[in-house]
Amino acid sequence: MFRILSIICLLLALQACKEPVQKAELESFVVKNVIHPSNNPYNKDKVELGKLLYFDKRLSLKGDTNCAICHSLEIQNSETSSVPRNQIHKSVAPPLTNVALYKDVFTDPQANDLEEIVKERVHTALMLKDEKTIVTRLNQVAEYRDLFEKSFGSPGITMDRIVKAISAFERTIISKNSKFDRYVMGEESALTPSQKRGMDVFMNKAKCNQCHNGPNFSDSTQHTTGLKGITQKIRTPSLRDVSKKNEFMHNGEFTKLEDVVNHFVSGGSKGSIEDPLLKPAAITEEEKKDLIEFLKSLEGESHPLEMPKIPRA
């Protein structure tokens, strides 16, 4: 993963381009940074299988919830659910967009890869802890037996394969083709004058790139949040699609992007844990507005995920 400064160098090299690059090349700007591990290589069939499992409620204890209910996506034809997210997650359930771009996964220092986290989440109180029961349920579905054999090259449904398929699918949930992506790939007009000024504030006066860097705008490192009463460090979240959110910080402390900007520009809340990277920034109200406009430029194209047809037993 390269840092934002590398992106700016790329921008300078591409400023002579007059024609926008092809969409496939724009997509590769983000996609090429997704790394599929050698023990779980990408293949289309496995991803499609993982998508089915991601939405299949048979992976839950009572058959009433699934991964998608908590880790909200732009879903078409989805069912509503009253399952509180914090029954599974101790805090706000994180979105999985761009999870494959993080150097690590979520905030668990003991987790080595996405597969490990997926397995742990399937073993929560609301989901199903009993591997034998999960495998038995899926083995009763002929279509699943065929899909697992097609995806992995041999017959057999195991927890390891279930986890690998879900992980493979989650690595395809990415935000791409944002205005910012188009700009750094040579489309000068992709950003407004305000957004270009905001990028300068982001890089220099506000120094947001100290933590929010790389293609995912996250250093994947844990830092203090500047929130009063919060002692633990939290992994830097991605800023891609940040303008789509309706709650911010790991605990949902803020509901407006403007409040988040004010919080960090002020150097955090009074009485919060001090951090050398969290210092007040001397920027004007107009520069704050430009910074927010730049953050809006990180919003990727909307690709609603259609609810798949779950195989029947």
CATH code of the domain containing 255: 1.10.760.10
Number of domains composing the chain: 2
Asked whether the beta carbons of 166 and 54 are under 8 A apart, the reply is yes
Domain boundary among 136, 171, 206: 171
Task: Examine the fold and report which residue of 137, 153, 171 is the final residue of a domain before the chain moves on.
Answer: 171
Give 145-194 pLDDT, tens digit per residue: 999 999 999 999 999 999 999 999 988 888 778 999 889 888 899 999 99
Residue 9 in marked binding region: no
- Taken in order 253, 246, 182, 202, the sign of the CA dihedral is negative
Is 123 labelled a binding residue? no
Residues 163 and 88 in one domain: yes
Q: Is the residue at 20 inside a domain?
A: no
Q: Is 17 annotated as a binding residue?
A: no
pLDDT at 25: 60
Residue 159 within a domain: yes
263 is in an annotated binding site: no
Cα 278 to chain centroid distance, Å, stands at 23
Q: Which residue has the higher pLDDT, 95 or 147?
A: 147
Question: Residue 110: which domain range?
Answer: 35-171
User: 47 vs 36, 44, 158, 217, 279, CA distance in Å?
Assistant: 12, 5, 16, 25, 43
Query: Is residue 11 situated within a structural domain?
Result: no
Residue 61 belongs to some domain of the structure: yes
Residue 253 covered by a domain: yes
185 and 151 part of one domain: no
224/197 same-domain check: yes
Please tell me the predicted confidence (pLDDT) of residue 72: 60
Do 131 and 153 lie in one domain? The reply is yes
**305 is a domain residue:** no
- Three-state secondary structure string covering 298-312: CCCCCCCEECCCCCC
pLDDT at 234: 87
Instruction: Choose one of 106, 137, 171: the last residue of a domain.
Output: 171
Task: Tell whether 243 is covered by a domain.
Answer: yes
254 vs 165: CA distance, rounded Å: 35
More confident call, 310 vs 10: 310
Instruction: Tell me the pLDDT band of 90, cut-offs 50, 70 and 90.
Output: very low
Whether residue 120 lies inside any domain: the answer is: yes
Asked if residue 148 and residue 227 are part of one domain, the reply reads: no
Gap between the Cα atoms of 1 and 278, Å rounded? 24
**Are both 188 and 259 inside the same structural domain?**
yes
Q: Tell me the pTM.
A: 0.68
